[in-house]
Amino acid sequence: MAMALETLSSPIILFFALGLLAALARSEMTVPEAFAKGLAIYLMMAIGLKGGVEMAANPLTGEVIRAFGAGIVLSFALPLVAFAALRLTSGIDRVDAAASAAHYGSISIVTFVAATEVVQATGLMPGGHLVAVAAVMETPAIITALLLARQANAAGGPVAGSERGELLREVMLNASVVVLVGALIVGWIIGPEGFEPTKPFFVAPFQGVLCLFLLDMGLSAGRGLRQGWRQLDVGAITFGLYMPLISAAVAAALCWVLALAPGDSALLITLAASASYIAVPAAMRLALPKAKPAIYLTLSLGVTFPFNLTFGIPLYTAMGQWVGS
Partner 1 sequence: MKLYEKQRLEIILERMAAKRAGRILEAAGVSGYTVLPALAGFGGETKWQRDADISASRDMVVMVVIADAAEIDVALDQMQDLLADHIGVLNVSTVQVMRPDLF
Least separation, in Å, of the C-beta of 199 and its own copies?
A: 8
Q: Where are the alpha helices (DSSP H) in the chain?
A: 2-8, 11-24, 33-57, 62-89, 94-105, 109-121, 129-137, 140-152, 166-172, 175-195, 199-202, 206-228, 234-258, 262-273, 279-287, 293-297, 305-307, 313-323
Amino acid at 178: V
Least separation, in Å, of the C-beta of 93 and its own copies?
A: 29
Q: Which of 60, 65, 125, 173 binds its own copies (CB under 8 A)?
A: 173
Spatial contact of 208 and 10, defined as CB atoms under 8 Å apart: no
158 in contact with its own copies (CB under 8 A): no
**Residues in contact with Na ion, total (CB under 5 A)?**
2
Compare residues 101 and 295 and give the one whose CB is closer to Na ion: 101
Instruction: Report the SS3 class of residue 139.
Output: coil
Contact string 31-70 vs its own copies (x = CB under 8 A): xxxxx-xxx-xx--x---x---------------------
Amino acid at 94: R
Contact string 247-286 vs Na ion (x = CB under 5 A): ---------------------------x------------
Amino acid at 18: L
Q: Which does 217 bind (CB under 5 to 8 A by kind): its own copies, Na ion, partner 1, none?
A: partner 1
Measured distance CA(178)–CA(6) in Å, rounded:
34
Q: Which of 186, 245, 246, 318 binds its own copies (CB under 8 A)?
A: 186
End-to-end CA distance of the chain: 22
Length of the chain: 325
Instruction: Report the SS3 class of residue 211.
Output: helix
Amino acid at 210: L
Measured distance CA(324)–CA(157) in Å, rounded:
46
Q: Which does 14 bind (CB under 5 to 8 A by kind): Na ion, partner 1, its own copies, none?
A: its own copies
Q: Which does 241 bind (CB under 5 to 8 A by kind): its own copies, Na ion, partner 1, none?
A: none
Measured distance CA(40)–CA(172) in Å, rounded:
18
Spatial contact of 261 and 63, defined as CB atoms under 8 Å apart: yes
Measured distance CA(86)–CA(82) in Å, rounded:
6
Q: Which does 285 bind (CB under 5 to 8 A by kind): its own copies, Na ion, partner 1, none?
A: partner 1
Instruction: Pick left, alpha or beta for residue 120 (phi over 0 → left; psi -120 to 50 → alpha; otherwise beta).
Output: alpha
Least separation, in Å, of the C-beta of 324 and its own copies?
A: 25
Amino acid at 243: M
Least separation, in Å, of the C-beta of 256 and partner 1?
A: 34
Least separation, in Å, of the C-beta of 80 and Na ion?
A: 13
Least separation, in Å, of the C-beta of 54 and its own copies?
A: 15
| Binding-site ranges for partner 1 (CB under 8 A) | 23, 30-33, 36-37, 40, 159-163, 166, 216-217, 219-220, 223-224, 227-228, 230, 277-278, 281-282, 284-286, 289-290, 293-294, 297, 301
CB atoms within 10 A of CB 234: 10
Spatial contact of 295 and 232, defined as CB atoms under 8 Å apart: yes
190 in contact with its own copies (CB under 8 A): yes
192 in contact with its own copies (CB under 8 A): no
Compare residues 143 and 186 and give the one whose CB is closer to its own copies: 186
Note the residues at the interface with its own copies (CB under 8 A). 9-11, 14-15, 18, 22, 25-35, 37-39, 41-42, 45, 49, 169-170, 173-175, 178-179, 182-183, 185-186, 189-190, 194-195, 197-202, 204-209, 211-212, 215
Give residues in contact with Na ion (CB under 5 A): 107, 274
